[in-house]
Chain A
Amino acid sequence: MYGNDFAGPDAGADGGLLGQVEAAEAALRAAAHRGRVEGDPAALQDYFDAVIDADQKIEPRDWMPDAYRRGLVRQIAQHAHSEIIGMQPEGSWITRAPSLKRKAILLAKVQDEAGHGLYLYAAAETLGVTRAELVDMLLDGRQKYSSIFNYPTLTWADIGAIGWLVDGAAIVNQVPLCRCSYGPYARAMIRICKEESFHQRQGYEILHTLSHGTPEQHAMAQDAIDRWWYPSLAMFGPPDTDSTHSAQSMAWKIKRFSNDDLRQRFVDMCVQQAGVLGLRIPDPGLRWNSERQAHDFTSPDFDELMRVIKGDGPCNAERMAHRRQAHSDGAWVREAAAAYAAKQEEVVVV
């Protein structure tokens, strides 16, 4: 939401999740006052386990198992890459936004995404890798980004759908990460979740305006929901039965809820909001199940998800080509900055 000129869904389109973000922030502040522990490997492992068991934070100074470190680097880097690649599908509408207010909101949003990428790379760097190494791994395909950004943005309504559904799914995924056991990641996620919540409300407001606008605008909004619904459900990852990293991640309290639990939470959140929007969720199997006290829904096509992750989505090649182009176009600028900095140092030494 931008300014106070829109009466949106009360308690936030995020379903009050910001309260959880604040609680996580308080826990982090407390953790920051802990000291470093030294000792033999067994003692270090015991200490690590005790910290995790007590729901406290592991900090960069602490010993941690190699697999914990590697898993975090993989997850944080993938998240950072997603923010950076995620600038593209929306950014392409900055020059075409239909009003100056929308243009300003979208510019600010894409700018936030660059900022999220920066915090996340910085969090990953506390684990002993450099941003340049991680960027190289993105560019040569050794590391992935979220498959959702391999879908195209065909109309302006897609900007609304990305905000409402994609950012909405991201928030449901990410709010639990504010309490994850690795301090720097948890802290980065707190700031990111606060901003994502704005993004989701902005998307919701775009769709609300379109849905209650002209018949063409309404149709544009519905078409966007039709295309983004299942890819958004797929953002929670494969079903729990097929998820390769989940069990260990849960034990280490990096991940707090299973893919299927989070997907269910997202569906339940969207149903009520879709009603207010006056838009239809494109699932004939969607109905309230009073026994489960949750909605039954049709699962996304996980074979499609796997195809897109493996590189065969509608825009994989385009997204990577854009990123590589920007990186290589900027090489002469980075070289100039380094050369200039070196000259300044020489001046100081002389």
Chain B
Amino acid sequence: MTTVDYVLRLGDDALVTAQRLGAWYAAGPEMEEDVALANIALDQLGAARLLLTYAGELEGAGRDEDALAYQRGPADFRNCRLVEQPEPDFGTVIAKLLLLSAFQLPFYEALAGAGDERLAAIAGKTRKESAYHLDHSTLWTLRLGDGTDESHRRTQAAFDTLWPFVDGLFASSEGGPVDAAELRKTWTSTVEDILGRATLTVPTPVAEPTGERTHLVELLAEMQQLHRAHPGARW
């Protein structure tokens, strides 16, 4: 039996990713990239909506996608910390997307063939999108890693900064048909291969920092502000 928390974790990863990417409107390095980043944000948001709707149904307390997205505080968000990290430059956007999509692709592929029919149907759709996200972030990682000295330095720094948060992707996820912890090997081989081809160094493992999730607090404050200012309103 799939638990609410299991589904929330997947939905929150997707929602927070979409929220970060949504802030990149009209800020990409090329117009084509504005289109691509919006597309990826839309994919993640679409997945989030399906997953949060399902989580609400499993919970059975009458909460829909918006109640779960807008009326939970930071302490109740189940996403991994990687996705909430700020994206100060395009290198960080790409590094984060690579780390995430190298996880989401095998995860959704496994979910598509696993026991929960509803999750299998959602994953059947999202795995195709994850394949595109991985392809897009791989191509950019190669260009940036093996481009100029500056792009190499910036992109290596982005992977170094995000690396302490990769463990969170694999925190054991009981309560659902696929355990994230089992995908680490596949993920490691994908990511190490791409970083190698991009002439980047695989960072040394570091423990995830502890402390308050201030980035998530700020992200949610912005996202939820308008919705919360009008309790009970329809939009």
Chain A residues at the B interface, C-beta cutoff of 8 Å:
84, 87-88, 91-92, 94-104, 107-108, 110-111, 114-115, 117-118, 121, 156, 209, 213-214, 216-217, 322-323, 325-326, 329-341, 343
Taken together as a complex, chains A and B put the C-alpha atoms of A336 and B30 apart, in Å, by: 12
Is the Cβ of A102 less than 8 Å from the Cβ of B235? yes
Q: A94-B25, A339-B147 are in contact. List 20 more A-B contacts (CB 8 A).
A: A98-B70, A99-B70, A99-B227, A99-B235, A104-B45, A104-B49, A107-B18, A110-B25, A110-B26, A111-B38, A121-B31, A214-B230, A326-B26, A329-B90, A330-B28, A330-B29, A336-B147, A337-B147, A340-B143, A341-B143
- Of A95, A333, A334, the residue contacting B223 (CB under 8 A) is A95
What are the residues of chain B within 8 A of A217 when measuring CB–CB? 230, 233
Is the Cβ of B150 less than 8 Å from the Cβ of A332? yes
A115-B35 in contact given A103-B22, A326-B26, A329-B29 (Cβ < 8 Å): yes
Is B57 positioned at the interface, with any CB of A under 8 Å from its CB? no
Is the Cβ of A95 less than 8 Å from the Cβ of B22? yes
Is B210 positioned at the interface, with any CB of A under 8 Å from its CB? no
Is the Cβ of B144 less than 8 Å from the Cβ of A333? yes
A100-B49 in contact given A336-B143, A336-B148 (Cβ < 8 Å): yes
Is the Cβ of B227 less than 8 Å from the Cβ of A98? yes
Taken together as a complex, chains A and B put the C-alpha atoms of A75 and B93 apart, in Å, by: 35
Q: Would you give the 0/1 interface string for B32-43, flagging 1 where the beta carbon is closer than 8 Å to chain A?
A: 111100110110
Is the Cβ of B45 less than 8 Å from the Cβ of A96? no
Total chain B interface residues with beta-carbon distance under 8 A: 51
Q: Would you give the 0/1 interface string for B126-168, flagging 1 where the beta carbon is closer than 8 Å to chain A?
A: 0000000000000000111011101100100000000000000
Q: A307 to chain B: closest CB distance in Å?
A: 25
Taken together as a complex, chains A and B put the C-alpha atoms of A21 and B199 apart, in Å, by: 51
Is the Cβ of B31 less than 8 Å from the Cβ of A100? no
Q: A111 to chain B: closest CB distance in Å?
A: 4
Q: Which of B19, B23, B46, B230 has the most CB of A within 10 A?
A: B230
What are the residues of chain A within 8 A of B46 when measuring CB–CB? 104
Is B185 positioned at the interface, with any CB of A under 8 Å from its CB? no
- Of B32, B38, B91, the residue contacting A118 (CB under 8 A) is B32
A98-B230 in contact given A111-B39, A118-B35, A336-B143 (Cβ < 8 Å): yes
Q: B124 to chain A: closest CB distance in Å?
A: 20
User: What are 11 A-B residue pairs whose CB atoms fall within 8 Å in the complex?
Assistant: A84-B31, A96-B226, A98-B226, A100-B15, A100-B69, A104-B49, A108-B42, A333-B90, A334-B29, A340-B146, A343-B146
Taken together as a complex, chains A and B put the C-alpha atoms of A118 and B31 apart, in Å, by: 7
Counting from the closest, the 8 A-B pairs by CB-CB distance are A336-B147, A330-B29, A91-B25, A336-B151, A111-B38, A333-B29, A87-B26, A340-B143
**Minimum CB distance partner of A110 in chain B:** B25
Is B66 positioned at the interface, with any CB of A under 8 Å from its CB? yes
What are the residues of chain A within 8 A of B38 when measuring CB–CB? 107-108, 110-111, 114
Q: How many A-B residue pairs have CB under 8 A?
A: 147
A99-B66 in contact given A84-B26, A87-B34 (Cβ < 8 Å): yes
Is the Cβ of B148 less than 8 Å from the Cβ of A339? yes
Is B89 positioned at the interface, with any CB of A under 8 Å from its CB? yes
Taken together as a complex, chains A and B put the C-alpha atoms of A258 and B29 apart, in Å, by: 38
A111-B148 in contact given A87-B25, A217-B233 (Cβ < 8 Å): no
Q: A122 to chain B: closest CB distance in Å?
A: 11
What are the residues of chain A within 8 A of B154 when measuring CB–CB? 332
A216-B230 in contact given A103-B45, A326-B26, A332-B151 (Cβ < 8 Å): yes
What are the residues of chain B within 8 A of A214 when measuring CB–CB? 230, 232-233
Within 8 A of A (CB), among B76-90: 89-90
Is B27 positioned at the interface, with any CB of A under 8 Å from its CB? yes
Is the Cβ of A111 less than 8 Å from the Cβ of B19? no
What are the residues of chain B within 8 A of A99 when measuring CB–CB? 66, 70, 227, 235
**Minimum CB distance partner of B29 in chain A:** A330
Is B194 positioned at the interface, with any CB of A under 8 Å from its CB? no
Is B222 positioned at the interface, with any CB of A under 8 Å from its CB? yes
What are the residues of chain B within 8 A of A103 when measuring CB–CB? 18, 22, 45
Q: A145 to chain B: closest CB distance in Å?
A: 12
Is the Cβ of B147 less than 8 Å from the Cβ of A107? no
Q: Which of B26, B31, B230 has the most CB of A within 10 A?
A: B26
Taken together as a complex, chains A and B put the C-alpha atoms of A108 and B33 apart, in Å, by: 14
Is the Cβ of A96 less than 8 Å from the Cβ of B222? yes
A335-B148 in contact given A111-B42, A213-B233, A214-B230 (Cβ < 8 Å): yes
What are the residues of chain A within 8 A of B29 when measuring CB–CB? 326, 329-331, 333-334
Q: B166 to chain A: closest CB distance in Å?
A: 23
What are the residues of chain B within 8 A of A107 when measuring CB–CB? 18, 22, 25, 38, 41-42, 45
Is B189 positioned at the interface, with any CB of A under 8 Å from its CB? no
Within 8 A of A (CB), among B173-194: none
Q: Which of B19, B33, B154, B226 has the most CB of A within 10 A?
A: B226
What are the residues of chain A within 8 A of B28 when measuring CB–CB? 326, 330
Taken together as a complex, chains A and B put the C-alpha atoms of A115 and B33 apart, in Å, by: 10
Taken together as a complex, chains A and B put the C-alpha atoms of A87 and B22 apart, in Å, by: 12
**Minimum CB distance partner of A90 in chain B:** B25
**Minimum CB distance partner of B142 in chain A:** A340
Is B5 positioned at the interface, with any CB of A under 8 Å from its CB? no
